[in-house]
């Protein structure tokens, strides 16, 4: 790690190459990656909770099996990302401590409740759909371990998004009550899904990291660019579902080549990020409790590893 960008670091980035763990890198680049990758991993782990609540209440054995597979995938995504973050010289135990004591974040979207089965469909279709839009460019991130972790994550996210769409399609084609349940879920999850992409790129509601992250090839597109891309691909899908998106301003703008839409209310995003969302306390209490209850597993794994560690030769 070096204080400033070195010529070798910049050469790798400018040639579209990848920085590997043992390559020279500026401390700021390393810290930015640790921050983003750790928070990405935390999001995957916390993200298991909203859908996990519905595994025991899925409407059929098939839906239960699919949902179990999806929640297990999210755990695996978290582990890939913690492992990738550890290549930067941090320890996942410390990253989890930072999550638990609020020094690190997780995605705002997981602080919303899952009130009906249709929410599981809305999460798969909208939340995992948004995650795909955000994560596909990360497969070309300048940091090798992060980019490679994203390749497998994105393949599994496609299954997550498809099964969510399928749940909503089934409901929208069902009884009027089922269609109303699907519409209610979409109404509640649309705006929080747009907020997943982060604050605005500029102005009072801007976030602050994008320019540097793009200069370092960590981010390939800005928050607003990816948000617009997600809106453009999702509106036709809502039409195919026979469901409406809760924004009357959504209209195709031929000149822009994009859908116009009502501006996102970033005050809600900042409130949720500040811990004042609908489920922040519940999610963190569950996470900290699970970590505490799982201590014996970690202790047993460490004892086993120590017992079977190759004997130091005299
Ligand atoms: N929720 C919580 N915090 C958020 C946020 C959100 N939706 N959007 C932004 N923030 C935070 C940032 O972390 C940053 O705070 P920090 O300095 O304490 O880290 C601050 O708000 C400023 O935002 P910026 O946009 O300037 O920050 P970034 O450049 O880090 O961009 C990001 C934010 C777009 C989320 C980026 O970090 C990113 O692309 N991360 C990787 C993808 C990711 O983490 N996705 C989260 C969902 S995971 C998921 O969906 C799993 C799937 O299986 C469902």
Q: What local confidence, expressed as pLDDT, does residue 310 receive?
A: 84
pTM: 0.96
* Crossing angle of the two packed helices 128-135 and 223-241, in degrees rounded to 10: 140
More confident residue, 270 or 1: 270
Q: What percent of the chain has pLDDT over 90?
A: 93
84 pLDDT tier (thresholds 50, 70, 90): very high
Examine the pLDDT at 314 and tell me if it is beyond 60: no
Ligand 1 in reach of 36 Cβ (< 6 A)? yes
Kindly report the average pLDDT of the chain as a whole number. 96
The pLDDT score that the predictor gives to residue 5 is 83
1 pLDDT exceeds 90?
no
Digit-coded pLDDT (tens) for 100-125: 999 999 999 999 999 999 999 999 99
Mean pLDDT confidence for 64-75: 98
One DSSP character per residue, the chain reads -BSS--HHHHHHHHTT--B-TTS--BHHHHHHHHHHHHHHHHHHHHTHHHHHTTGGG-SSHHHHHHHHHHHHHHHHHHHHHHHHHHTTT--HHHHHHHHHTTSS---GGGGS---SHHHHHHIIIIIHHHHHHHHTGGGG-SBHHHHHHHHHHHHHHHHHHHHHHHHHHHHHTS-HHHHHHHHHHHHHHHHHHHHTT-SBSSSTTB-S-HHHHHHTTS-SS-HHHHHHHHHHHHHHHHHHHT---S-TT-EEETTTTEEE-PPP-HHHHHHIIIIISSSHHHHHHHHHHHHHHTHHHHHHHHHHHHHTSPPPP-
48/55 Cα distance (integer angstroms)? 11
pLDDT digits (tens, 9 = 90+) for 259-307: 999 999 999 999 999 999 999 999 999 999 999 999 999 999 999 999 9
Nearest CA, atom 38, ligand 1: 36
The predicted complex's ipTM stands at: 0.98
Atom of ligand 1 nearest to the CA of 197: 34
Give the model confidence (pLDDT) of 121-148 as tens digits: 999 999 999 999 999 999 999 999 999 9
Q: Is the CB of 49 under 6 A from ligand 1?
A: no
Question: Residue with the nearest Cα to atom 45 of ligand 1?
Answer: 40
Looking at per-residue confidence, does 5 or 191 come out higher? 191
Mutating to test ligand 1, I would choose from 198, 202, 214 the residue with most ligand atoms within 8 A of its C-beta, which is 198
| pLDDT > 70? residue 58 | yes
pLDDT at 2 over 80: no
At residue 101, the pLDDT reads: 96
Whether 46 and 109 have beta carbons less than 8 Å apart is answered as no
Instruction: Render pLDDT for 146-193 as a digit per residue (tens, 0 to 9).
Output: 999 999 899 999 999 999 999 999 999 999 999 999 999 999 999 999
Q: How far, CA to CA in Å, does 166 sit from each of 161, 171, 251?
A: 9, 9, 25
What is the position in ligand 1's atom list of the atom closest to the CA of 39?
Answer: 44
Burial of 194 (0-12, 13-18, 19+ CB in 10 A): buried
- Residues 65-87 have a mean pLDDT of 97
CA-to-CA distance for 292 and 313, rounded, in angstroms? 36
Q: Is the dihedral of CA 306, 90, 92, 81 positive or negative?
A: negative
CB 48 within 8 A of CB 287: no
What pLDDT score does 313 carry?
A: 63
pLDDT score at 205: 86
CB of 220 closer than 6 A to ligand 1? no
């Amino acid at each position: 790690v070096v204080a400033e960008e070195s010529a070798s670091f910049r050469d790798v980035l400018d040639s579209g190459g990848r920085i590997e763990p043992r390559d020279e890198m500026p401390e700021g680049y390393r810290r930015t990656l640790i921050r983003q990758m750790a928070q990405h991993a935390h999001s995957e782990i916390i993200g298991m909770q909203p859908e996990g609540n519905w595994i025991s209440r899925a409407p059929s054995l098939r839906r239960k099996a699919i949902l179990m597979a999806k929640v297990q995938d999210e755990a695996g995504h978290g582990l890939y990302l913690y492992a990738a973050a550890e290549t930067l010289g941090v320890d996942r135990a410390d990253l989890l401590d930072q999550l638990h004591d609020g020094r690190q974040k997780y995605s705002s979207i997981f602080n919303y409740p899952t009130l009906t089965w249709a929410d599981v469909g809305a999460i798969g279709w909208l939340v995992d759909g948004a995650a795909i839009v955000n994560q596909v460019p990360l497969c070309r991130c300048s940091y090798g371990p992060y980019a490679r972790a994203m390749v497998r994550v994105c393949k599994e996210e496609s299954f997550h998004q498809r099964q969510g769409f399928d749940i909503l399609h089934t409901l929208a084609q069902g009884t009027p009550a089922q269609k109303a349940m699907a519409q209610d879920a979409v109404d509640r999850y649309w705006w929080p899904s747009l907020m997943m992409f982060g604050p605005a790129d500029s102005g009072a509601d801007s976030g602050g990291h994008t320019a540097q992250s793009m200069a370092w090839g960590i981010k390939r597109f800005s928050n607003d660019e990816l948000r617009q891309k997600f809106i453009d691909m999702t509106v036709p899908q809502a039409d195919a579902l026979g469901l409406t998106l809760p924004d009357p301003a959504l209209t195709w703008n031929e000149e822009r080549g994009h859908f116009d839409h009502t501006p996102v209310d970033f005050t809600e995003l900042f409130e949720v990020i500040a811990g004042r969302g609908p489920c922040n306390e519940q999610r963190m209490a569950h996470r900290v409790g699970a970590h505490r209850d799982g201590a014996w597993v970690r202790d047993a794994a460490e004892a086993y590893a120590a017992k079977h560690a190759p004997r130091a030769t005299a």
